[in-house]
Structure 1
Amino acid sequence: MKKLLKIMLIALCTIVTVLVVFVASVYVVNLISNEREQGKIEDYGQKVMVDGKQMNVLIQGDGKETIVLLPGYGTASPVLDFKPLVDELSPYYRVVVIEPFGYGLSDDTDKVRTSQNIVNEIHECLQKLNIKKYTMMGHSISGIYGLEYVNQYEKEVQAFVGIDSSFPKQETDELPVSSLQLLNQSGFYRLLLKVNPDQLVMPKVDDQTKAQIKMLTFRNFMDESQASEADNFRNNFKNAQRLHFPKKLPVVFYLADQTEKETPNWKPMHEELLKNVDHGKVVTFKGGHYLHHTRSKEIAADFKGFLSEIESNR
């Protein structure tokens, strides 16, 4: 019996030691990788001072009309994520991709991520760039921020485009922010993506761009801004329920059929948002939530037609 207990104790100690070494190795590898990657992240766009911090922006194209692109929640690099759509739009428009604080190459911030604060920062950024008239085009959560934005700055926004965008009455789940931050800080998030790289959603871009997106994912994942944004999901959605799109603002929603299957009332709720709008429509494409990865050509073509139709009716 003593011999058996001794063997079991040795086995237990061995298992604990292996686990400790494994966890420590994952942590150290992540630290070293983060340090190395800081020097490999390539600069792009330009920096704009907003609320005392640097906000990164890419401007591409020199068309007479301007489109401002806003990302979905947690996008590692909005500029690189929107690349297929920017390439389709920029021959005809001036396209402005804004990377909110905590995203892409922009600074992080400890300012609470309410819709109001986010909207104020985006507006300040556009003012600093001397951009006075524009179409706002937002993916996912930016449907909520965009609704707040167009109600505040109705005279500046010429149209709103939602790319599988969120709606105010949408059910929102609370993210386990602390657990996700621990997952990243411990290095196990990096390990999980190493084991299953398909978890990282990317557009069809070259390998170098994919590597940049991956490095920015590790840098920005659940930083202070994104953590605060997640904590404020429910309040931001609830506050948006008091809002409606302005009657004379042209609005078009590009929705994914896969999201319609997964989310109850996805299309009807977007149609509800348009009931008092003079010029509004909903277009459904085959595909998943990231339509700007897979349907950028169709979105750009339909948007051009939508604007032409609006102009001809004026």
Structure 2
Amino acid sequence: MKKTLSIIGKIIAVLAIVIVLFLAIVFLVNIICNKMEQGKIESYGQFVTVDGKNMNVFIQGEGEETVVLLPGYGTATPALDFKLLIDELSPFYKVVAIEPFGYGLSDETDKERSTENIVSEMHEALQQLDIDKFTLMGHSIAGIYGLDYVNKYPNEVSAFVGIDSSVPTQPGMDVELPVKTFEFVEKSGLLRLIMKVSGDPYAGLAFDAQTVEQMKMISNKNMYNATTLNEMEHISSNFKGAQDLTFPKDLPLLLFVQANNAGVEGWIPLHEEQVKDSVYGKMIPMEGSHYLHHTQFKEIADNFRQFMKEAK
């Protein structure tokens, strides 16, 4: 018995040493890679000063009408992630992609990531750019922030377009998310390893190689940073705070919705409910992943242009 226990103890000790060494190597590799990649990240867009910090904004196109793009939660490189859609829209519109604090090339912030603060910061960025009339087009959780925006600044928004946008009453948003776990995975370097072995998320998409390389490096820099983790902590309260809000009835409302979302019960009916009372409301189901703008960018741009002509 003693001999057996001794062998088991030695095995456990060896396994513990192996795990510690593995984590140490992963941690050091992540630090080295971060430093190497930092000098390879290329700047794009322009900075505007918001709350004393730099917020990055990318502008393309010179159209008379303006489209402002807002990213979904955790989209580490918003302006590059929207590139395919921007290229389709910019021949006809002035397209403005906002990178909120903690995203893209923007600074991080210690300010709480409540809807109120996020919307206020986006508004200030647009004010700095003298943009006071535009279509607001948002992906995923931007459906929550956009809903708040159009109610706070109704005279600025001429239409809202959702790209598989979140709905305040969708189920499952009242759960407590494992923020500490995500923080550990990021700080330990395990996140980089997980992303490396998970395969290429951009494989088969129309992004060019240089854009993909930049998105991957910026994702390694931004994913689960302190700012976006704080936003994760506020997700439940931000959804709850939007449950009494609706889009103004006279605001043109166009929702592109993933046709087969098995992860959220009643995904299509939830969006049908949002558009049913709108004077200019339309919902278009689309085949594809949650990131519809990665594969359906041409269809989104064409349908948007047609919708805006009809809404006028």
State the TM-score, normalizing by the size of structure 2.
0.95
* 2:4 equivalent to 1:27: no
Match of 1:218 among 220, 235, 238: 220
Q: 2:99 maps to what in 1? A: 99
1:74-153 equivalences under 5 Å are 74-153=74-153
Contact 2:202 2:212 in 1 (8 A): no
* 2:259 equivalent to 1:257: yes
Q: 1:271 maps to what in 2? A: 272
CA deviation string 1:28-74 (max 9, x = no partner): 11111111111111110000000111000000000000000000000
The alignment yields a C-alpha RMSD, in angstroms, of 1.7
Instruction: Report the more deviating stretch, 117-126 or 32-41.
Output: 32-41
Contact 1:101 1:108 in 2 (8 A): yes
Contact 1:85 1:296 in 2 (8 A): yes
Contact 1:202 1:210 in 2 (8 A): no
CA deviation string 1:1-24 (max 9, x = no partner): 766665555444333222221111
The one-letter amino acid paired with 1:210 is: V
Q: 2:234 maps to what in 1? A: 232
1:8-47 equivalences under 5 Å are 8-47=8-47
1:200 & 1:111 partners in 2: Cα distance?
A: 32
1:113 & 1:295 partners in 2: Cα distance?
A: 30
Query: Structure 2: where are the runs of 5+ without partners?
Result: none
Contact 1:251 1:281 in 2 (8 A): yes
2:157 & 2:235 partners in 1: Cα distance?
A: 24
Q: 2:290 maps to what in 1? A: 289
Q: 1:204 maps to what in 2? A: 206
State the TM-score, normalizing by the size of structure 1.
0.94
1:247 & 1:20 partners in 2: Cα distance?
A: 59
How high is the sequence identity, in percent, across the aligned residues? 53
2:206 & 2:285 partners in 1: Cα distance?
A: 21
Change (3 A) 1:17 1:123: same
1:207: Cα distance to partner?
2.0
The one-letter amino acid paired with 1:115 is: T
Change (3 A) 1:110 1:202: farther
CA deviation string 1:75-130 (max 9, x = no partner): 01001100010000000000000000000000001111111111100000000000
Contact 1:70 1:137 in 2 (8 A): yes
Contact 1:140 1:166 in 2 (8 A): yes
Q: 1:158 maps to what in 2? A: 158
Aligned residues: 310
